[in-house]
Structure 1
Amino acid sequence: MSLYARHVHKKAHPHYPGSVIAPPIGRKRSTNRKKEFRNSKKLKLKKEIKTVQNQQSTPRLIHPK
């Protein structure tokens, strides 16, 4: 959700008295969890890629002739 969209959604809601600027009730749920989940996936991928790179870059023994 872009900043613009968020700013548009924040209108006075009928559940709130007066003209309190607030998002609609019953909306703010699991957004952070989704973000964290996505980030954790990305982090896991990054870690996996790093481990693969580390395995490839292990110094190989060069046998002296």
Structure 2
Amino acid sequence: MVTLLAAAADTIPASGGNITIVPINHATLQIAHGQHVIDVDPVAQANFGTLPSMATTSIPRRSRS
């Protein structure tokens, strides 16, 4: 069995507060700045359970037809 460790969160200093980028898995991540949270989940399989809730709704992905 192979155990994969999630990468650590990264913080970028910015005006208005730090920008925090939290990798979840593969191409899934969460970006937070002040009161704003953006969840990026192109495969819709991530568990965001312990992270802050998004303040806005996500944009549905387009079908690949």
The verdict on a shared fold, with TM-score over 0.5 as the criterion, is: no
Choose between structure 1 and 2 for higher RCO, CA contacts under 8 A separated by at least 6 residues.
2
TM-score norm. by structure 2 comes to 0.20
| TM-score (normalised: structure 1) | 0.20
Tell me which structure has the larger Cα radius of gyration: 1
